Amino acid sequence: MSDFPAIKLSVLTGKIQQTLQQVFAEQTYWVVADITNHSYYQQKGYHYFDLVEKDENAGGIVAKVAAVAWGNGAIRIREFETVTGQPFKNDIHVLVRVSVGFHQVHGLQITLLDIDTSFTVGLLEQQKQQTLLRLTTECADFIYKSGDRYITRNNQLPLHAVIQRLAVITSGNSAGYQDFRHTLEHNHFGYTFRIDNYFTVVQGETKAELVQQRLIDIYNSQVPYDAVVIIRGGGAQTDFLIFDTFILGRAVAKFPIPIITGIGHQKNETITDMMAHTATKTPTKAAELIIAHNRSFEEAVISMQQNILIRSQQLFSAHFQALSWLNSTIINQSRTLLANHKEALNISQNIVLHTSRNSLLNRHRELISVSNAVLSKPRITVSNRLNDLDNTIGRFRSFSRLFIQSKRGQVAHYDALFKLMSPASILKRGFAIVYQDGHILPDASSLQPGSHIRVVLQDASLEATITEKNITHEPGTDI
């Protein structure tokens, strides 16, 4: 047994309590730490959790202490959740004001007195700004900032005049998705939509690659979608960190189909909202935007229809008036023309009648004169015609004898020429005719030594065989 005197545990814990009270009495400290092992008892309004400091390089825990919040501390936690939209839970980075105490039964106690909401909000905003700077730096070919707005390839795409075919990226059990479909399917204008679902997880910063993969699936489908809609219901601010990631912001900014977002984030605008074609606050608002877009097109068509009707009525009225005036003018002018031509026709008729009577009278007189002449001198006329006929017959006989004599001279000339050119006459002048195989040879091109020929003279026919061939000149050339 030890020689040192023993003391009770309560005495020891009492001394520890007294010592800590002397050091930390009425002192508070602002501490930066992570929350782990959080438990909340709603009936009592107590929060039990651990404050942890992690080594950013090694990833291990370098400090850990149990903490509690009740009373005013619990109220401050509720205010923190209301302002940030962030529930007080595990794995959040916070700045809290604490006091140090010691209980003889429960041991060392760290009590949360206050929590700085601006620290958490500012930290998230700082991360967001860093991501935006990275996007504009690394993706400058399709993302740049103009004033307070980010210009991306996606938000410069034109929306189709009518949006009907949609690809929706969302969670399968999302209430926001149900609101989106209900709003589209029960619109007051009777518009119909074709919706293809691409379900995935839309919560958690590490799940951004899943959303990006769904965008890739939409692109690879080669379906001509009018728009892509990314939606999810409401939630805490950290639930939307997936939409502030670099990988998703880049994918949305570069996507070749217009993207409409309805993420349900009422307070702030996510990076995905900034990169997308059109951002709305909720899934319902996204559906209302699409309906309003189609309604705008319909109203434009209706307005154009009304303008066409009004303009056509105006044109019809103007042309009807012009046509009426033209009709009246034609009727009046036609009546005037008919009256003028009727008068001219009457004058012409009178002239024709008067002229025709004079012409008939003159012709009648001439006919009577010719008739009297024919009746009085028929023999003279017949005699003259007989003399003309005898003269014609005499000239014909004279010309026919001269023509026959001329043709007989031409026939005699051709007869002498034919006799001179006959083969017998040619042979008498010392020429010969050469035959090969019964055909007259015009030249020696087909003859070769050994060829058999027949030579016909004036008084004899010779059979011969070619022993030698000497070409004196080329066929077809002059000697």
* Best CA proximity match to 51, nearest among 29, 36, 73, 68: 36
Domain ranges of the chain: 9-115, 125-297, 426-465
- Tell me which of 212-226, 347-361, 376-390 is least confident: 376-390
Q: What is the mean pLDDT of residues 336-348?
A: 87
39-61 pLDDT, tens digit each? 999 888 899 998 888 776 665 67
| Per-residue confidence (pLDDT) for residue 479, from 0 to 100 | 41
CATH 3.40.50.12240 fits 9-115, yes or no: no
Would you mind telling me the total number of residues written for the chain in this entry? 479
Separation of alpha carbons 430 and 457, rounded Å:
8
Please indicate whether the domains covering 9-115 and 125-297 agree at the CATH topology level.
no
CATH code for the part of the protein at 125-297: 3.40.50.261
Highest mean pLDDT among 69-83, 193-207, 280-294, 332-346: 280-294
Residue 377 pLDDT more than 80?
no
Q: What is the mean pLDDT of residues 244-268?
A: 87
Confidence of residue 265 (pLDDT cuts 50, 70, 90): low
| Per-residue confidence (pLDDT) for residue 123, from 0 to 100 | 65
- Tell me which of 246-250, 282-286, 301-305, 361-365 is least confident: 361-365
Rounded to two decimals, the pTM is: 0.50
Q: In Å, how far are 12, 105, 145, 411, 417 from 406, measured between CA atoms?
A: 175, 168, 115, 9, 17
User: In degrees to the nearest 10, what's the CA dihedral of 279, 283, 287, 288?
Assistant: -80
